[in-house]
Amino acid sequence: MKKKALKKPVKKKLLAKSLTQKTRSAKGYNPVAPGRVSEILHKLDEMYPDVTCALHHRNAWELLVATILSAQSTDVNVNKVTPPLFAKYPTVEAFAALQPQEIEPDIHSTGFFRNKAKSVVGAAKMIVADFGGKVPDNMDDLLKVPGVARKTANVVLGTWFKKNIGVVVDTHVTRISRRWELTKHTDAPKIEQDLMKIIPQEHWTMFSHQVIWHGRTLCMARKPKCAECAIEKLCHAADKTWSTVDIHPAAL
């Protein structure tokens, strides 16, 4: 009796050919099956057991400001901007006493600095006037604050207040959730709703942190390091650079 040959890994040069062929999922394959999702979460825990938000902060207000500044910017750049900014204006009350144009030079390098300045100063004024100088710890009130949308609120609630109210959906979470076939959507609100349905609530905040780190270290937009990834056998993405499993053309 002949031994069954082992399936060889598909190298990058073979992926293009495989994509021209009709690729069928295994019968009964369900990308959001609880078992598969649980295994992905387990692998993330193994790879990134202690990760947290990369934005430097000492309190909820600093995290809120840093998150507002991070839009269309990098965390590395924001972390260069915020230390001198908070040294110059150490409290939310100090920010509330400003006019937006006063901090524009301090945050210029983060991009869209005029709108961000209006948001930060507007947020400070409302927090001082309506919330006694304390950043709200609930979604409804946070969404009233200038410059705060659901993503920013999720960062503050999950990271600082340790409340799993939602899933932070940034560019990394968007891209990787689609690669893993956990969603077919491209807009953040719908992606978040899909993820909240399949990921246990106690994992929402950590899942976001872990996927963001995964996107920075291994699963990059270009040339992901698939051969080094512990989740490779669970991933059927069409843009993999190395694969030991079938490729699904729609997984992008």
Task: Please list the active-site residues.
Answer: 151, 170
Q: How far is CA 56 from CA 60, 160, 194, in A?
A: 11, 12, 29
Q: Name 243's bridge partners.
A: 10
Q: How far is CA 105 from CA 101, 151, 184, 252, in A?
A: 8, 26, 40, 39
For the beta carbon of residue 216, count every other beta carbon within 10 angstroms: 13
Q: Tokens 């394959």, residue?
A: 29
Cα–Cα dist 47/44, whole Å: 5
- One-letter amino acid of 94: A
> What are the structure tokens assigned to 248, written together?
């699904």
For residue 93, what are the contacts with CB-CB under 8 A and spacing of at least 6?
Answer: 124, 128, 133
For the beta carbon of residue 241, count every other beta carbon within 10 angstroms: 18
